[in-house]
Amino acid sequence: MSRSVPKPLSGFPEFLPAQREVERQVIESLARTFELHGFANIETRAVEPLDQLLRKGDTSKEVYLLRRLHEESAEGHAGIGLHFDLTVPFARYVLENAGRLEFPFRRYQIQKVWRGERPQDGRFREFAQADIDIVGQGELGFHHDVEITRVMLRALTELADPTSIGLPGFTLQVNNRKLIQGFYLGLGLSADNGDVDETMRLIDKLDKMPAEKIRTLLMDEAGLSSEQADQCLALAGISTEDESFEEAVRALGVTHDLLDEGLAELAELMRACADLASDKVRIRAELKIARGLDYYTGTVFETRLDGFESMGSICSGGRYDSLASDGRTTYPGVGISLGLSRVLVPLVNKAGLTADRSVPSAVLVALADDGSRAASDAIADALRANGTPCEVAASAQKFGKQIRYAERRGIPFVWFTDRDGNHQVKDIRSGVQVDADPTSWTPPEMDLKPTIVGNDNQ
């Protein structure tokens, strides 16, 4: 019988142990930052009813349906699908548990999602996201938009630290849908017949199509005049790292109350986040950003990673004032989502980001002979009691081979015990070997867990 090696499934990334350690430490860093700001952790189920998944935005092509192998229903499926983001299931979660939650409710969620799109650079069919949201009951002050922005900026800044993964520099691009919609209404476009939404959808494609092509589509598909199309493109071309965008918008000569509201909110956000900017962290008012999902109503975010701009946004989100409602009460919210896999997979595969060992073990307890395994196990337990991750050698090979076994796994220390019960521990990197007591010895703090290596900042 012929046997074949399984082939990887495109769009479903998997990490080796040392690479998974990078992901694990990133998740720990994100969780630590989110919890420092009072966000509670939740996890939602993997599936949602189709009517929930398809309720907002053009997502029908992205949803993976669930069906039994011998499905007998007329629809041919179970009426449920895998969630394609964490916002839609979170909205359902809020409605189901509103009576047991305290508002404003602050949550973070780090979980897998699934999208049925064509795999390409930075886009996968199964991937992890890290979301933070603040949801109110009836109302939610704009200061929460500022808070969400600052928290995610701090989380990304932590990851950019050389002692973490050394994330490359990045630009957080922000805009406000009120600004965009108010500008379009001031131009004479109508919100009732879809002109505003269609124009916004087309402008949002400027990163993928040339401006002249977008101009043609604005006239042919959205019904704009050539003057209106030019004004929309002029607005989309405004990009500043300070509040000067407001003056540039005013210079276009368009007025509307909603435009004024959007300008004021965006200016407040830029002012409030200015102190977090650095040589690696840039915050830019980018007035072409609209976001594709139609539940956004105010602030919108996108984030570009230096050197990986072709991947698109790694961290996106915004304000949604009516995503969750039970017919009596509306639960407005604001959130931002980091594409964890989108960031990590290229850094691991292209930049060589990894951990310096493939196991958590800091010590390998050597095995003198097969009869001494119980004694070696007791030594390992004593080390573990002090918080030192360790393992016992798999077999009683020559000590040289046991040391090489530790080297291949990246384990920095090997523990030896002679026939008289004397203990010594050897740092196999330096060759230094010293007497030690398994009940009290611990490795240096930097060796207690694997260290991330391979980023350019180390």
The whole-number pLDDT of residue 51 equals: 84
Rounded Cα gap, residues 34 and 199, in angstroms: 36
- Residues of the chain with confidence (pLDDT) below 50: 1, 457-458
Rounded Cα gap, residues 451 and 457, in angstroms: 13
pLDDT tens digits for range 81-130: 999 999 989 999 999 999 999 999 999 999 999 998 888 777 899 999 99
The whole-number pLDDT of residue 61 equals: 66
Q: Find out whether the peptide bond into 104 is cis, omega within 30 degrees of 0.
A: yes
The whole-number pLDDT of residue 191 equals: 76
Topology of domain 9-166+331-358, per CATH? BirA Bifunctional Protein; domain 2 (3.30.930)
Delimiting residues of CATH 3.30.930.10 domain(s) in the chain: 9-166+331-358, 169-306
Gyration radius from the chain CA atoms: 27
The whole-number pLDDT of residue 295 equals: 77
Delimiting residues of CATH 3.40.50.800 domain(s) in the chain: 363-442
Indicate the class that CATH gives domain 169-306. Answer: alpha beta
Q: Which of 124, 55, 120 is nearest to 325 (CA)?
A: 55
Provide the Cα torsion 369, 370, 376, 378; round to 10°.
-150
The whole-number pLDDT of residue 430 equals: 96
Question: Terminus-to-terminus CA distance in the chain, angstroms?
Answer: 50
The whole-number pLDDT of residue 59 equals: 59
Indicate the class that CATH gives domain 363-442. Answer: alpha beta
Helices (H), 10-116: 17-36, 50-53, 87-97
pLDDT tens digits for range 265-286: 999 999 999 999 999 999 999 9
Count the neighbouring beta carbons within 10 Å of the beta carbon of residue 189.
22
The whole-number pLDDT of residue 455 equals: 61
